[in-house]
Each structure stands twice: as structure tokens, then as C-alpha cells.
Amino acid sequence: MKLESAKVVEIFKNSVSDWHKEEVLSPNPFPQSSLEFLFYQKNQIDTIQWHVEDEIRRPDLPDKELVQFKRKIDALNQERTDLVEQIDDQISALYKSVEKKPNARMNSETPAWLIDRMSILELKIYHMKEQTERKDVSPEHIQTCQNKLNVLLEQRIDLSKCLDELLDDLSKGDKFYKVYRQMKMYNDKNLNPSLYTKQA
């Protein structure tokens, strides 16, 4: 596939819609080795986490379930991070033969982390649009949510433009980026003192 923002947004929109039909992981329609597969899988994880984050804020949630949800969020966060790094690996491979110009500027954000923000944004758009369609709230609530939705739709345009410009700059050697692995410590039994001291 030609990597461009319009295709990325389309995949995310379809993923969000697919998940909400049954509220379970949807079969990934793309070949497993493809970037499209990773984009779809990434958004499915984000969608699950979105709803777990909703549930964990219920005031009537028993403590036992709260702990279970927190552990699920940790696992989803790790899976999300792993997927972002896989996406970066594939995108980096697309530009490995491009010669970096002497005056090339470094981008602080990798393409995959920008795409990560775009994935979350599609969830915000979907759920804010839901709010504008409710029949059990005041007109003021509808208008407030519509105003927010308008901002989110503008942000979609802006982030899409940023991604396309970054990809264009990368293809010309005008920009480059470095991939720094997240190196999360709290999930690692060898790096989190609360885990390795308990083991000892």
C-alpha cells in the first residue's frame, strides 16, 4: 500500500465501527505481514482500552474488579506500545534506502507515534458524535458536544496533514527520526522495585 494519511484514517474508522457492532475483537481483514494489519490491530486494542477506561471509573465498581481492570489496562498499554514499535520498524524499512540530506532535520516524533495519536483521535470522534445524537440530554449538552466534535474533526485534518508532510519529507531525505524503544519499567519484574523486592 502507498502509505498516506487518508488510508490510515479509513482503516481506523472501519476498525472502530467494526468493534462497536459486537463489542469484541473483530477479525482483521488484512494480510498479517502488512502495515494495514498492524494499523487495524492497533486501533482494536485502543478501542478495547477506551471501554476498559470507562468501566474503571464507575463509582459502584467493586475493588476486586478495579484491580482486574487496572491489570488489563497495563497489559493493553504494553500491547499498544509493542504494536507502535512494530509499525515504526515497517515504516523505517520503507525509507531505509533514502539518502539523508546534509541539512536534514530530525523529527522528534516517529511516524508510528503520530499514527498512534490519530488512532485515539478516531475514537474521540466516534464517541463525541454519539453524544451529539443522544435523545436523553439537553440541547445545551448536544451543542457543547457538537462544538467539541468540530474541533476533533479539525484536528483529524491537521494530524493527517502532518503525517503526509512527514512522510513526504522522509521520502526526500529532508527529515529523519530516531526510534527510541519505550523501555517501560513498571511491567518488568527485573526493573520495578515493587516486583523484584517482593521476589527476593
Grid coordinates of 155: 484536528
Identify each DSSP E strand in 58-174 by its residue range: 105-106
Residues 80, 42 contacting (CB under 8 angstroms) = yes
Question: Three-class SS string for 116-140?
Answer: HHHHHHHHHHHHHHHHHCCCCCCHH
Indicate the DSSP class of residue 32.
Answer: T
Spell out, as residue ranges, where the chain has pLDDT lower than 50.
none
Q: Are 84 and 112 in contact (CB under 8 A)?
A: yes
pLDDT at 198: 66
Residue-wise pLDDT for 81-90, tens only, equals 999 999 999 9
Residue where the block lists cell 463489542 = 23
How many CA atoms are closer than 13 Å to the CA of 157, on its beta-carbon side?
A: 5
For the chain, give every domain's residue range.
5-188
Q: What is the pLDDT of residues 41-58, one digit of tens each?
A: 999 999 999 999 988 888
At residue 32, what is the residue type?
A: Q
pTM value > 0.85: yes
Bridge partner residues of 106 (DSSP): 176
